[in-house]
Chains A and B, each alone.
Chain A
Amino acid sequence: MQNEVRDRVTSIVATLGGEGGVGTASSEQLLLLVYDELRRLARHHMGGDTPGHTLQPTALVHEAYLKLVDQSRVDWRGRTHFLAYASKAMRNLLIDHARARASAKRGGGSRRVTLVDEVVGDRALDREQLLSLNEALDRLAEHDERQARVVEMRYFGGLKVEEVAEVLGVSKRTVEGYWTHARAWLLRELTQGQGI
């Protein structure tokens, strides 16, 4: 079973970044497979009984790659594209989970973040902040789909600037600019509401 999945994912990934791209069906399938794998990994890492330490989502994404893809059949380009997909899967997973938790907790809904201190710099966001961020990211996509994807890949997949540039087919400088701008833009969204 695991081998079948691995074969399937590898063969899809092998075509990624190549000429002609990948079909929609394959694309969706890949997303689902990666999603499942991420969830499985998260559960696997649970190990003990009580939460103690944190894990970088990006580490999980990379781990999923090692698990799902036969690296001998895929080049660095395939790997980068896989990670781009995995970022999306990771985002979905986190958001789904946060929604489930939030609604389980108090009947859904999310709140606007008002305290700048809580969301800036090197602090991780909490569940509700994450949901707010997700919404803000959707609004960003309305302005510029590609910029939103930069955030998705950097934020949820831990891709490096050059990897994102490779996936999107743009320059590193562009990615850097998008990323810098998005972080400021998103922070404004999170702290001020609807924005522009």
Chain B
Amino acid sequence: MSADRFERAREVFVQASVLTAEDRRQFLDDKCADDSELRAEVEELLRFHDMGGVGLPPEARLRELADGIEAQQKIGNYRLLRKLGEGGMGEVFEAEQMEPVRRRVALKIIKWGMETKEVVARFESERQALALMDHPNIARVYDAGATTEGRPYFVMELVKGVPFTDYCDTQRLATPERLELFIRICSGVQHAHQKGVIHRDMKPSNVLVTMVDGRPVPKIIDFGVAKATSQRLTERTVFTEFGQWIGTPEYMSPEQAEMTGLDIDTRTDVYSLGAVLYEVLAGAQPFDSKELRTSGFDAMRRAIREQDPKRPSTRVSTLGEGRETVAERRRTDPSTLVRMLRGDLDWITMKALEKDRTRRYGSPAEMAADVERHLRNEPVLASPPSTAYRVRKFVRRNRVAVVAGSMVVVALLIGIIGTTIGLVRARRQAESAQRVSDFVVNMYQDLNPRVMRSHGSTPEEIFGRAIERIEVELADEPLVQARLLWTLGDAYSVFGQNERARELMERSAQIRREHLGEENLDYVMSISFLGDVLSEMGDQQAAIRYHEHAVSVRRKVLGPDHHTVGWSLRSLGIAHWRAGHLDTARSLYQESLSIISNARGDESFDVSITLFFQALLARDEGDLELSRELFERCLDIREAVLRPHHLETGLCLLEYAGVMRQMGKDDRAKELTSRALEIFQQAYGTDHLTIARALETLAAIEHNAGNLEDALILYGRALDVRRRIGQPDLENLAGDPDFDAVVEAHHTRFSEETFRQ
């Protein structure tokens, strides 16, 4: 295009550009009547003109060029220099204060529409208190005001640092180093509390770690901001219109989530400190952030108020793939980290996160002191958080009036609570709050007491106290004493705490013998249980002695056909079976079965118990066909009389499957085991010894069938379960190099076999 034509097109374009579309057409018809090329050129340019033409000057370039400069914006006495960050509540700028002193400050402009006057007024009311704060771990708050647009702003000490959790992770601080920093954060919050200031919005991003003389110093920012900007928490203020969150629900205390917004005290900060500690230890927040934020307003509040977070150690072990990263950021490996958190640090964190603030640490200083005790390897004040709390919650749920009541019931319940803890500790699969409280509910209903009181302490102490009370306070009521000891012992045996059960049973039996004599039924009841426990513990001789005595006394007192005679005969048979006296055991079982069948009915659960042991005996004698028959009968009864998926049915299925395998009927065995596994999983969740056993049986079946790959997977799952079960020996094994080597060898062997196929 010649210069001439370029200019001509420009001229027509400029004239046309100011016209409307209609007029343009007319105008172009006129101007370019005989020049379609010109017309095409002008029309094309007009199209780009209508798009707005080329963009405005390249401001972004200059930012790179100058590496950052705030357009000379001024707010009050402050000149904004650059933006430091943007959060849910507003933007933070580095600013220069002109007068009365010239200094760099951080200026936070609140974003959302709130009553500016009110915010500033609330800030003013706290200003004096804020001014009194002077602590190395607190960023000072200088001023508040409103921009010309009417947005409130706060002026604070400028802290150039990174959020607490980020700092710990990027520096790969080990757990003790993290705790050291945390203690200083506590001391800052404590200082503020002493000056009458509550933070209300403690979270990792409000704690910046800055370097002073080459050492990390945590500084808490935003004191006074949350209170000044606090509104009644409503759905509207928590979610913006786009469904985004404003506050920080992950660190919000239950009382804040209550929304009353009135009754917030220093213990709210203790809770949030707990959440911060949780995250810095476990690498995850107490509540799943995503879940919390997508669950809706009410569900979120309910979770914060009611849902118990997992303990930090449990949280780490359930992180899956993330475990490695979390551990690595703490310069350790997952199993060491879990061990490190278990106990003290779990308890400290959970105590701070108690729903009921009266159960939290009274102050940040108390919390810090406990962390220090932990670091010095002294016993901490925090105790397992479950005991009293869960009982209390249970009581609340059941709306039982809690008043002072009879000694007996209190002592019993304390014993049972202790037992619950024993259960929890012995079998971690029962850890979930729900299952534990279900258990307590059952025990509670069995005893049907009218009163309940809780004594929060370690299970050992509760146990000790219960025994002590039974021994001391009921010294002149020996029979009540004996009964309580028996009850406690029974509870312990149910949970497999045989050693403790034995002690209690012996004591109970001793008291009853002294006061009632050996021919007494209550005494017999004590020794019967004692015999069962001893038999399980391997002392068949003693067991046989006790059961023989029990049989003779019950026969004499109750008559030969009484069902308890059948029980004692069965127990005696079991002891003989375990001792290897198979013939004796067989005839004892036979005798027991006929008595129980007559007394309780052929189809009673009681009968199925005897059948079960007969089946095991037949198996041991090599009469697999008989064993199969007995298991079938046992199974039929259990499925008929027990509720579906009863554990006892599961146990029967599992043992039965073993016999089927011996008979070479792997298909049947597989079906039985799968059913058993389903029952165990329903009852126990994922981690229980029976689950591991079922998986191992299935693995063996697959292995036998030549499905090595499936076998390998099943063995692996079983091994995982065993590792997680938390049986002390296995637990210690997990992570042990030797143990891992064995596992490795297993895997290698299976892999090799798979390859050969």
Contacts and interface: CB of A to CB of B under 8 A. Distances in A.
Interface stretch (B50-58, B432-440, B562-570): B50-58
B63 interface: yes
A60 to B, nearest CB: 7
Contacts of A144: 3, 6-7, 10
Contact of A54 (B1, B14, B60): B60
B50 to A, nearest CB: 8
B53 A187 contact: yes
A126 to B, nearest CB: 7
B64 interface: yes
Given A120-B54, A125-B55, A144-B7, A56 B62 contact: yes
Contacts of B7: 144
Contacts of B51: 116, 120-121, 187
Contacts, number: 179
Contact of B49 (A125, A133, A180, A190): A180
Given A56-B71, A187-B51, A187-B53, A51 B58 contact: no
B68 A46 contact: yes
Interface stretch (B80-88, B696-704, B732-740): B80-88
A160 interface: no
A178 B11 CA distance: 9
A53 B44 contact: no
B59 A54 contact: yes
Interface in B6-34: 6-7, 10-11, 13-14, 17
A196 interface: yes
A55 B71 contact: yes
Interface string A42-55: 11011110111111
A161 interface: no
Interface stretch (A10-18, A21-29, A66-74, A92-100): A92-100
Given A93-B65, A185-B48, A56 B82 contact: no
Contacts of A45: 66, 68-69
B61 interface: yes
A129 B60 CA distance: 11
Nearest to A57: B62
B45 interface: yes
Interface in A156-175: 156, 158
Given A119-B55, A184-B13, A46 B49 contact: no
B94 interface: yes
B58 A59 contact: no
A190 B68 CA distance: 27
B55 A184 contact: no
A123 B68 contact: no
A112 interface: no
A8 interface: no
A158 B1 CA distance: 30
Interface residues on B, range: 35 or more
Contact of B81 (A41, A47, A121, A156): A47
B35 to A, nearest CB: 15
A173 to B, nearest CB: 9
B677 to A, nearest CB: 57
B511 to A, nearest CB: 77
Interface residues on A, range: 35 or more
Contacts of B62: 42, 54-57, 60, 94
B41 interface: yes
A192 B178 CA distance: 58
In this complex, the member of A43, A101, A127, A187 whose beta carbon has the largest number of chain B beta carbons within 10 angstroms is A187
A78 to B, nearest CB: 24
Contacts of B1: 143, 196
Interface in A55-95: 55-60, 93-94
Given A47-B69, A48-B68, A53 B53 contact: no
Given A177-B10, A183-B49, A184-B45, A52 B56 contact: no
B70 interface: yes
A186 B82 contact: no
Given A58-B57, A190-B54, A180 B14 contact: yes
B46 interface: yes
A193 to B, nearest CB: 13
Contact of A55 (B11, B56, B63, B94): B63
A57 B61 contact: yes
Contact of B54 (A94, A97, A133, A196): A133
Nearest to B68: A51
B67 interface: yes
B248 to A, nearest CB: 24
A121 B53 CA distance: 6
A101 B64 contact: yes
A116 to B, nearest CB: 6
Contacts of B41: 196
B58 A125 contact: yes
A124 interface: yes
Given A121-B55, A125-B58, A184 B70 contact: no
Contacts of A119: 54-55
A54 B71 contact: yes
Interface in B56-114: 56-72, 80-84, 93-94
B260 to A, nearest CB: 39
Contacts of B46: 184
Contacts of B81: 47-48, 52
A67 to B, nearest CB: 15
A123 B63 contact: no
B82 A183 contact: no
Contacts of B61: 57, 94, 97-98, 124-127, 130
A43 B63 CA distance: 10
A155 B57 contact: yes
In this complex, the member of B46, B56, B68 whose beta carbon has the largest number of chain A beta carbons within 10 angstroms is B68
A182 B66 CA distance: 28
B48 A50 contact: no
A124 B58 contact: yes
A89 B574 CA distance: 102
A188 interface: yes
Contacts of A39: 65
A75 B6 CA distance: 37
Interface string B544-570: 000000000000000000000000000
Nearest to A39: B65
A38 to B, nearest CB: 9
Contacts of A4: none
Contact of A124 (B6, B10, B55, B66): B55
A188 B45 contact: yes
A53 B55 contact: no
Contacts of B72: 59
B286 to A, nearest CB: 32
Nearest to B10: A181
A122 interface: yes
Contacts of A58: 57
Contact of A51 (B11, B14, B57, B64): B64
A160 to B, nearest CB: 14
26 contacts: A45-B69, A47-B82, A48-B81, A50-B82, A51-B64, A51-B67, A52-B68, A53-B63, A53-B80, A53-B82, A55-B59, A55-B63, A56-B59, A56-B71, A120-B51, A120-B52, A127-B64, A129-B55, A144-B7, A147-B10, A183-B54, A186-B54, A188-B44, A188-B45, A188-B48, A190-B54
Interface of B: 1, 3, 6-7, 10-11, 13-14, 17, 41, 44-46, 48-49, 51-72, 80-84, 93-94
Given A181-B13, A187-B51, 14 more contacts: A42-B65, A45-B69, A47-B81, A48-B82, A52-B68, A52-B82, A54-B62, A55-B71, A133-B58, A147-B10, A181-B10, A181-B45, A185-B45, A191-B48
